[in-house]
Amino acid sequence: MLVFHAVTVPLTRIAAISSSVSGLAVIAALLADGRAVWLGGSAGSTTMAAEDDPMDAKLSYVKGAETPPLREDTIGEALDEAARRWGDVEAVVSVQQGVRWTFAELKAKADALAAGLIALGLDRGERIGIWSPNNAEWALTQFAAAKAGLILVTINPAYRTSELEYTLNKVGVKALVAAAKFRTSDYLAMVESLAPEIVASTPGSLEARPLPTLRALIKIGGEPRPGWFDVEEVAPLARPEHVAALEALQPTLKNTDAINIQFTSGTTGLPKGATLSHRNILNNGYFVGRAIGLHERDRLCLPVPLYHCFGMVMGNLGCVTHGATMVYPAEAFEQLSVLEAVEKERCTGLFGVPTMFIAELGQPEFDRFDLTSLRTGCMAGSPCPVEVMKQVIERMHMRDVTIAYGMTETSPVSFQTGEDDPLERRVSTIGRVQPHTECKIVDEKGELVPRGQPGEFCTRGYSVMLGYWDDPERTAEAIDIDGWMHTGDLATIDEAAYGNIVGRIKDMVIRGGENVYPREVEEYLYRHPKVEDVTVVGVPDEKYGEELCAWIRLKPGETAAPEEIVAFCRGQIAHYKIPRHIRFVDAFPMTVTGKIQKFLIRKQMIEELGVEVAHTA
């Protein structure tokens, strides 16, 4: 049973905590033995009855099952268990690289790399970043970091120099693992542009003023390069004392330790580092796997990015906890490579955001592929069109496919459909609450709303993040004093406890599964010398779900073309943050209090573009 304990904490203790624990929020510092703890208050509030009191079934509150129990192991221990139980089962298959590792091999490689990282001088709790598209080394780094007690900072491969610099310095990354190149991206050159000292440095001993905490640089592939280790050179650095140190470290690691930082876009224009524990993400991967019926020797095709929770948590950790194989079809999504991998590897499951499934179904050669091995999978990352779900079930043979809803800050999944849900429910809702999780829908006063009435979706339980790294103020804005994570999403819960997302309180735009906050894009566009004012909204798009639209007021006497704005963004911000639709206007629709009425801009653009708002779950 998941029990919440209320405690009273002296203000002096709160002050001490808020300035310690590597900057994690006060709430995070008060987590004890994996149980949620509140700073005052109780398990019951004005919107929540006491734990043992029956809830009014007419109100929008649901609580997940309490069985099976939560896992209390670390990610390293989960890998060890997988190697013991399924040692000869393929754990990682990277189709493009021609790599095949069993669970026994993955464990051995992870242990060796972890010892090498310790030899580099990395200590428990320090941050190691990974900036790379999907490959076997990504997964290896994930498990090696967990073994070494390092906090893995996952960096979006689409980031460019300004975003990378902010990320590395915000959390104090000490070691960075980076791909050499991908498509037009030269990752090593971008890092070196931030810190020219690299080329004259000894590998592992970098001292660069722009990146003050960064010491070790590790590359995946490419030619030898001054200042960089190749990833294959790290494990051999370990001597017997480093191996012994790794072994001694294992029993001291706690599943409540921070183990992952994932950056989410912020309404202030600066990304926030959602900090997650072993307990957060290992359990979430495990329960998502259960919901899709994952089991030993299943083969899960993962075209979703590993830097995101969808890949590294729902995919990698879901497979490790169920003995299934992680199949990476390519470095990044390509519909043809996905279809080829499913057929060649006889995959039984497939993950993807709706745009991926739409692209796969629309591939001109779709009918020539044998996809009959598919049975299950998950569609998530953005609202899932009902018609697409139906086609996935019918044409891709994924009879048990599920829809999942969540957010990075909740590890990520809190609602999901199940194998035994009626077809209509599975294609038109986000399912029901996950085990060991509470969810509620509240109005603007924080009061529970009746079933079927929209309000803000809030969630509480093991999956809620520790906090935003070094940002207690923004953590407190997201997680209230009773431990509820306020998602900013508008949702409903019906009489049968199924959920639907009906909108967003926040301005977040979801483009092809990527979360984009307009404020961040606006802040960047304000740097353009011709821009006086700008506002960004999301508009419906058939391919990506939503696209960004920028309305721009230029400074007096200035003229500009959309191409000029796009060129200003290219190479400086991630490609998915660059507005597709750009309009130059003389004024914005405003309220009497001076606030921009974004909903009117969105409505006008929908009419101008002739697009329709798709019906989704």
- 233-to-99, 219, 595 alpha-carbon distances in Å: 18, 10, 56
**Per-residue model confidence as pLDDT tens digits over 198-250:** 999 999 999 999 999 999 999 999 999 999 999 999 999 999 999 999 999 99
- Cα separation, 287 vs 294, in Å, equals 10
Contacts of 247 (CB under 8 A, 6+ apart): none
CB count within 10 Å of CB 20 equals: 11
pLDDT computed for residue 28 by the predictor? 40
The gap between the terminal CA atoms of the chain, to the nearest Å, is 31
Which tokens sit at 483? 């431990």
Mean pLDDT of 488-507: 86
Question: Angle between the 103-119 and 240-249 helix axes, to the nearest 10 degrees?
Answer: 110
**Per-residue model confidence as pLDDT tens digits over 543-553:** 999 999 999 98
- Cα separation, 171 vs 213, in Å, equals 9
Please state whether the peptide bond connecting residue 422 to the residue before it is cis, i.e. omega within 30 degrees of 0: no
Please state whether the peptide bond connecting residue 412 to the residue before it is cis, i.e. omega within 30 degrees of 0: yes
pLDDT computed for residue 121 by the predictor? 98
pLDDT band at 591 (very low <50, low <70, confident <90, very high): low
Residue 413: name the closest of 258, 493, 308, 545 by CA: 308
Q: Which residues on neighbouring strands pair with residue 533, listed in sequence order?
A: 553
pLDDT at 14 over 70: no
Residue found by looking up tokens 């669970």 in the block: 103
pLDDT at 42 over 50: no
Residue found by looking up tokens 């906050």 in the block: 517
Out of 41-45, 260-264, 288-292, least confident range: 41-45
Contacts of 441 (CB under 8 A, 6+ apart): 60, 61, 448, 449, 453, 454, 455, 456, 457, 458, 491, 492, 493
Dihedral of the CA atoms 472, 474, 480, 483 (nearest 10)? Answer: -60
Residue found by looking up tokens 């939503």 in the block: 546
| CB contact at 8 A, 101 and 224 | no
Dihedral sign of CA atoms 596, 599, 603, 605 in order: positive
Per-residue DSSP letter, 438:
E
- Coil/strand/helix, residue 327: strand
Residue found by looking up tokens 């590359």 in the block: 219
pLDDT band at 265 (very low <50, low <70, confident <90, very high): low
Sequential DSSP letters for 75-138: HHHHHHHHHHHHTTSEEEEETTTTEEEEHHHHHHHHHHHHHHHHHTT--TT-EEEEE--S-HHH
Out of 289-293, 348-352, 531-535, least confident range: 531-535
Three-state SS annotation for 486-504: EEEEEEEECCCCCEEEEEE
Residue found by looking up tokens 């955001």 in the block: 353
499-504, strands of its sheet edge to edge: 61-63, 437-442, 455-461, 485-493, 499-504
Which tokens sit at 276? 């997650």
Out of 209-218, 404-413, 586-595, least confident range: 586-595
User: What percent of the chain shows pLDDT beyond 70?
Assistant: 89
- Give phi and psi for 272, each to the nearest 5: -110, 140
pTM as predicted? 0.81
| CB contact at 8 A, 458 and 414 | no
Residue 204: name the closest of 196, 188, 215 by CA: 215
- Cα separation, 121 vs 124, in Å, equals 10
Cβ neighbourhood burial of 472 (10 Å; 0-12, 13-18, 19+): buried
pLDDT at 9 over 50: no
Let me know how long the chain is: 617
pLDDT band at 590 (very low <50, low <70, confident <90, very high): confident
pLDDT at 17 over 80: no
Which tokens sit at 275? 């900090």
Q: What angle do CA 390, 396, 398 make, to 5 degrees?
A: 75
**Per-residue model confidence as pLDDT tens digits over 570-589:** 999 999 999 999 999 999 89
- Domains belonging to the chain, first-starting first, are 1-73+436-506 (2.30.38.10), 75-85+98-264 (3.40.50.12780), 509-609 (3.30.300.30)
Out of 34-43, 53-62, 294-303, 593-602, least confident range: 34-43
- Cα separation, 310 vs 380, in Å, equals 8
- Coil/strand/helix, residue 359: helix
pLDDT at 459 over 70: yes
Cβ neighbourhood burial of 129 (10 Å; 0-12, 13-18, 19+): buried
- Cα separation, 167 vs 18, in Å, equals 21
